[in-house]
Amino acid sequence: MMHNRKITSSELRVSRIGLGLAALGRPGYINIGHMEDLQGKHNTAALEEHNRQVLDEAWRRGIRYFDTARSYGRAEKFLGSWLRERNIPESEVIVGSKWGYTYTANWQVKAEEHEVKQHSITQLDKQREESNLLLGGYLKLYQIHSVTLESGVLENRLVLDRLHALKMHGMHIGLTVSGPRQAEAIRKAQAIRYDGEQLFETVQATWNLLEQAAGDALAEAHAAGWGVIIKEGLANGRLTHRNTDPAFAQKLAVLQEVSQETGCPADAIALAAILAKPWADVVLSGAATTAQLQSNLKALTLKLNTSQLERLSALQEPAESYWQTRSTLEWN
């Protein structure tokens, strides 16, 4: 059983590593090598069975936080069914979901658009109801999906008021951020208050060895009592041996060097570097197979030394170029 950690000023306790379902609820995703992970099992029944196997392993290994979204294909449905089939008490697990994107790929790997973003009150009300039907009392953290300053949602009083009303009825409220200006979005969200209290209790952000720009803002949020959840710790597979881009070769060599020193795989090293941050409460594994999950979980027992952390920290690239590269990753 892994050590649990409190992630909000309330008693919301979660495992240090959580399971994110972005790659598990639909046949197509942008992770490098995703096609191999699903081994051609694209029909709904096969993918649901594949989900059950990964979820069973996650539970067996002590994972108690599961992160999903309306736009992750059928991830909420698969997760809700699994929780009920396994008779898991609502008090023993925390599910976080998100609203703001609609899945539009219609179960295709190649689609004109895979998800469409809309941060309106209508979308919030509609998706809240859908998530509630599928997840019921397991759903304890509700997050705005992929807040950017450009989306304008942090100025939408109708939406903020509705989220505050949900909070007053016992739901924990968070946001996820993305893009090169994550830090600015986090700081802007921290200023939103109702009766002197911050509206948001958690933030989910991208932070990994390549994209470290939001670090200071995450430390501030953590100091203010927010729970910090880290997504894309492996940069969609770019921080693993699957990244065969010649431009990455030098960085891969550093990962391999630390891998030889520790006897741990590159993915566990990348995740352990995040767990070493005092402000990182939960680090999401985006594993699409049980083998990947087992490999990711090696991060929990890996303590990197100062020299290793310094060498790994030097892999950082400018935020703008990181997000530009991410935008070119192919759905597969």
pLDDT of the residue at 232: 96
User: What is the pTM (predicted TM-score) of this model?
Assistant: 0.95
For the chain, give every domain's residue range: 12-327
- Residue-wise pLDDT tens digits, 181-190: 999 999 999 9
Please give the Cα distance from 137 to 12 (Å, whole number).
14
Give pairs for 46-53: CB < 8 Å, separation 24+: 47/74, 47/78, 48/74, 48/78, 48/81, 50/24, 51/21, 51/24, 51/25, 51/75, 51/78, 51/79, 51/82, 52/78, 52/82, 53/290
pLDDT of the residue at 107: 47
- Residues of the chain with confidence (pLDDT) below 70: 1-4, 6, 8-11, 28-32, 34-35, 103-115, 331-332
- Residue-wise pLDDT tens digits, 281-294: 999 999 999 999 99
3-state secondary structure (DSSP) of residue 34: helix
pLDDT of the residue at 326: 86
pLDDT of the residue at 28: 64
Residues 87, 90, 92, CA angle at the centre, nearest 5°?
90
- Residue-wise pLDDT tens digits, 254-301: 999 999 999 999 999 999 999 999 999 999 999 999 999 999 999 999
In CATH, 12-327 is 3.30.70.141 = no
